[in-house]
Amino acid sequence: MDHGHFHELPDLAVRSLGGSVVYANDEAFAQRENLINPGPSRHDGDLFGPKGKVYDGWETRRRRESGHDEAIVRLGAPGIVHGVVVDTAWFTGNYPPEVSVEGLSIEGHPDVAELLAADGWVSLVPRSPVKGDTANEFTVAAGASGAGQRCTHVRLRIYPDGGVARLRVHGVALPDPALLDALGVFDLAALENGGVVLDCSNRFYSSPNNLLLPGPTRSMGEGWETARRRDDGNDWIQVKLTGEASIRIAELDTSYNLHNAPGWASLRGRSGPETEWVELLGRTPLRPDTRHRFALADTTPVSEVWMDVYPDGGMARLRLYGSLTSAGRDELGRRWRDALPGPARAAEGRKA
């Protein structure tokens, strides 16, 4: 995938991936937690509450002194940020004229005091103008100090005050290899483990990234669903795994898709763009509203998986359980070390 089109990458901050808004200096009008809600902001022009107009977003009071307001988000999956969307939907006369976004890499589970005192914040988006009622998109430029660094938290600053509906932090998760070592066998396609959708045939109803989110779906709308095909083709999705690995179990979940599940599906894998695709699961019938689990006979190491669905339809989740090869583990370790802040990277290099 061309990461210049960063909006097709998963949102590492979204609540459904485990993100949390852990701090805001002010939320007088609308609470900070709305920033990372899945789905677009909703609005009722006639709805007012005890604090004034009700917004599905984060809104601070009008400043009467110099300064700025800020919110800190713990990413649901630490990773490398490629782009940010600061969405000011519905905020027309009360949006902040400028914003900035910074990232931080910090281990463990720091409290708010530790985050506020941390001196490792790096720039992802410099102070920039934004428009009201707009999804303002910012690519993390190669020259930004935070470009290529693994982030665990982001800080949104608004100048001087105002309202923001949603904050989207698009990127690729980069898990700690030591945690995956402890697991041994894990879901190699999961977003939180570094899986990412490279491409797919159709995004008409919903994002294919939904297939790789944690936990079960709660409705048909939380999976991936394609438009109805009117030709002889079929839909498909291509997924990059955590690293080169042997897949032992595939789970194809059609939960909540009662009348629009694919009729069949198949899986292929390859170890890189220069290699041939090998069959992992032949064309197999699928049932509606069902978690299908298949033990794979061919455990040839692969780093990418291609799933065909016939002819179209909706699927809730795709799980691919297995373990990294030695080469896959080494490559993940290298990427993880290269993405750490300078001092931590030097320390890991000495361990290696």
pLDDT tens sequence across 82-139: 999 999 999 999 999 999 999 999 999 999 999 999 999 999 999 999 999 999 999 9
| Contact status, residue 65 vs residue 161, Cβ threshold 8 Å | no
SS3 139: strand
Give the closest residue to 289 by CA, choosing from 314, 309, 272.
314
User: Model's pTM, two decimal places?
Assistant: 0.92
| Contact status, residue 304 vs residue 256, Cβ threshold 8 Å | no
Inform me whether the pLDDT recorded for 350 exceeds 90: no
Query: Peptide bond before 160: cis, by omega within 30 degrees of 0?
Result: yes
Inform me whether the pLDDT recorded for 1 exceeds 80: no
Across the chain, mean pLDDT equals 94
Residues 6 or more apart whose CB falls under 8 angstroms from that of 77 comprise: 10, 12, 17, 18, 173, 175, 191, 192
Inform me whether the pLDDT recorded for 225 exceeds 90: yes
Confidence grade of residue 224 (pLDDT, cut at 50, 70, 90): very high
The confidence score (pLDDT) of residue 48 equals 86
DSSP 3-state helix, strand, coil percentages of the chain (rounded to 5)? 15, 40, 45
Task: Give the torsion sign (CA, 255, 261, 265, 267).
Answer: negative
The confidence score (pLDDT) of residue 71 equals 98
What average pLDDT does range 145-167 have in this prediction?
A: 97
The DSSP 8-state label assigned to residue 189 in this structure reads T
Token pair recorded at residue 136: 């303002």
DSSP element (H, E) containing 255: none
Inform me whether the pLDDT recorded for 301 exceeds 60: yes
Measure the CA–CA gap between 352 and 153, rounded to whole angstroms.
26
Give the closest residue to 101 by CA, choosing from 56, 66, 132, 137.
137
Q: 9-52, pLDDT tens digit by residue?
A: 999 999 999 999 999 999 999 999 999 999 999 988 878 888 87
To the nearest 10 degrees (0 to 180), the angle between helices 326-338 and 342-351 is 150
